[in-house]
Amino acid sequence: MITLIRTESDNQDFRELVKQLDADLAIRDGSEHEFYAQFNKVDKIKHVVVAYEDDIPVGCGAIKELTSEAMEVKRMYTIPASRGKGAASMVLSELERWSAELNYKTCRLETGKKQPEAIALYLKQNYKIIPNYGQYAGVENSVCFEKSIQ
């Protein structure tokens, strides 16, 4: 059974999962990894969800304010052994609920074209592809998404 907790970015389980995420992204993104890494610092994230399966941390995600009406979904990850069990969908849904509780109207996010599992997840969860925003505008490897949550 998968359980979720809401926490902050200083949570040690979250930090360990992010290390695994960054190692995976370094392989996938290759020479572009440093460009993306600059936008994924976790020290100021106050809204983190960690998923546990039998008390073992198996997935995570976070949100941070992008605009006064939109939260940005960040640092989504599920360990390979737990993929396909619904943890990522549960984390994403919890992040959306939390965003709505905080009175945001939408969730936006960016993922890489070299992450087909992530793209499939967001499409499955009714996110719509939008023009690349902010620092991702004009970045060929990026795909941006948005979903109304209210």
Tens of pLDDT, residues 106-140: 999 999 998 899 999 999 999 999 999 998 899 88
| Orientation angle between helical segments 87-101 and 116-124, nearest 10 degrees | 60
Task: Give residue 61's pLDDT band: very low, low, confident or very high (50, 70, 90).
Answer: very high
89: part of which helix (H) or strand (E)? helix 87-101
Is 60 exceeded by the pLDDT of residue 38? no
Domain with 66 in it: 2-148
Q: Residue 98 is part of a domain; what is its CATH number?
A: 3.40.630.30
User: Mean pLDDT throughout 83-100?
Assistant: 97
Please give the C-alpha separations between residue 20 and each of 13, 15, 65, 102, in angstroms, as whole numbers: 11, 9, 24, 29
- Give how far the C-alpha of residue 4 lies from the chain's centroid of Cα atoms, to the nearest Å: 15
User: Mean pLDDT throughout 46-58?
Assistant: 97
Number of domains in the chain: 1
